[in-house]
Amino acid sequence: MIELPEAETIRRDLDREIVGKKIKDAEVSTPKVVTRSGNRTKFVAALEGAKVTSVDRRSLHLLMGLDNDHTLVCRLGSGGLLRRHANKDPLDPKNVVVLGFTQGGQLRLIDHAGEAEMFVIENDELEDAVPELMGLGLDPIAEPVSWTRFAEILLAQKGRLKTLLCDDSVIVGIGDLYSDEILFNAGLRYDRMSDSLSAQEIRRFFRAVVETLHDAVKYRGTTLEDSPFVDVFGEPGSYQEHLNVYGKAGELSPRSRRPIARTKFSGRWTYYCEQSQV
């Protein structure tokens, strides 16, 4: 599943690619993808002739503002991709939605896992219609925050550090990959309790969150064999070349030169350095 850096990479690409373009037509081959629009007919009618005015993001949801007081919402899930294509390009078998523009080709939603959603909502109904956008935590990419504010939020919680990192009500859009990298960069264990951190450790934790996520965006996300993310142009990210621990069990830690450990935490694999994370 894509995490925050991948969603932000897509958002930035779409902001450059489709803002100012008018939607000529829309085709839906899998109606369940647009269920929250009511049905396929309503989805298409709300889009045809509308101009894209903005591309924003809340957590992993992409919000494309339209000039008809509606918002096109896209949630990619674990196997969704948004791709720019020329009209003549062959369709992917997993293609579920095609948006055609009056100038500038198409935007296609490809859904390999059957979890993606794309729907149109009136602006003043957005929060009621998409309740998962409420109660979100910090977004370190979209909204800079001070380390003192970060400390207040962290200390108001009482939980294991990896659990809090993967909680959207604390920090949005972080999963197993980036939480493991953040904790390695901070020198903290995945199961350390948040209320046990010293002020210095909180500062180090905060810096690791911000720097890891921004570096991942700079390298346009992470593309792994079991998570084949590509951007809207079909190009893979390159942050996988900079991973320190995730997926590297048995390899030598770049910090301690001891083998990287792997253990199950909350039912999923966690990667860490036993020697340098405390």
Q: What is the CATH number of the domain that holds 212?
A: 1.10.8.50
Domain boundary among 93, 124, 155: 124
Domain boundary among 70, 90, 124: 124
- E strand or H helix at 104: none
Q: Is the pLDDT of residue 26 over 90?
A: yes
pLDDT at 240: 98
Q: Is the pLDDT of residue 1 over 80?
A: no
Residue 130 in any domain: the answer is: no
Residue 131 in any domain: the answer is: no
pLDDT at 23: 98
Q: Identify the CATH number of the domain in which residue 114 sits.
A: 3.20.190.10
Q: Is the pLDDT of residue 109 over 90?
A: yes
Range of the domain at 248: 147-272
Residue 189 in any domain: the answer is: yes
Q: Which amino acid is at 9?
A: T
Q: Beta strand 95-101 with 23-28: parallel, antiparallel or unpaired?
A: antiparallel
Domain check: are 89 and 195 in the same one?
Answer: no
Domain check: are 189 and 248 in the same one?
Answer: yes
Domain check: are 14 and 103 in the same one?
Answer: yes
In this prediction, residues 83-109 reach a mean pLDDT of: 96
In this prediction, residues 226-244 reach a mean pLDDT of: 95
Domain check: are 154 and 104 in the same one?
Answer: no
C-alpha distance from residue 264 to each of 3, 168, 250 (Å): 20, 21, 15
- Among residues 176, 193, 148, which one has the least CA distance to residue 272? 176
Residue 137 in any domain: the answer is: no
pLDDT at 59: 96
Q: Which amino acid is at 239?
A: Y
Domain check: are 112 and 185 in the same one?
Answer: no
Q: Among all chains, which residue has been given the structure tokens 């629009």?
A: 37
pLDDT digits (tens, 9 = 90+) for 186-202: 999 999 999 999 999 99
Domain check: are 120 and 164 in the same one?
Answer: no
Residue 28 in any domain: the answer is: yes
pLDDT at 198: 96
Q: Is the pLDDT of residue 215 over 80?
A: yes
Calpha distance 210→147 (Å, rounded): 10
- Give the number of domains in the chain: 2
Domain check: are 159 and 211 in the same one?
Answer: yes
Residue 264 in any domain: the answer is: yes
Q: Is the pLDDT of residue 149 over 80?
A: yes
For residue 228, name the pLDDT band (cuts at 50, 70, 90): confident
Calpha distance 26→98 (Å, rounded): 6
Domain boundary among 124, 157, 184: 124
Domain check: are 101 and 189 in the same one?
Answer: no
For residue 227, name the pLDDT band (cuts at 50, 70, 90): confident
- E strand or H helix at 92: none
pLDDT at 104: 85
Domain check: are 17 and 108 in the same one?
Answer: yes
Instruction: Quote the percentage of the chain above a pLDDT of 70.
Output: 100
Residue 253 in any domain: the answer is: yes
Domain check: are 120 and 176 in the same one?
Answer: no
Domain check: are 90 and 174 in the same one?
Answer: no
Q: Is the pLDDT of residue 16 over 90?
A: yes
* DSSP codes of every residue in 175-230: -HHHHHHHHHHHT--TT-BGGG--HHHHHHHHHHHHHHHHHHHHTT---BTTB--B
Q: Is the pLDDT of residue 208 over 80?
A: yes
Rounded to the nearest 5 degrees, what angle is found at the Cα of 20, between the Cα atoms of 65 and 92? 80
Calpha distance 134→111 (Å, rounded): 25
Residue 251 in any domain: the answer is: yes
For residue 72, name the pLDDT band (cuts at 50, 70, 90): very high
pLDDT at 36: 94
Q: Is the distance from CB of 96 to CB of 116 less than 8 angstroms? A: yes
In this prediction, residues 12-22 reach a mean pLDDT of: 98
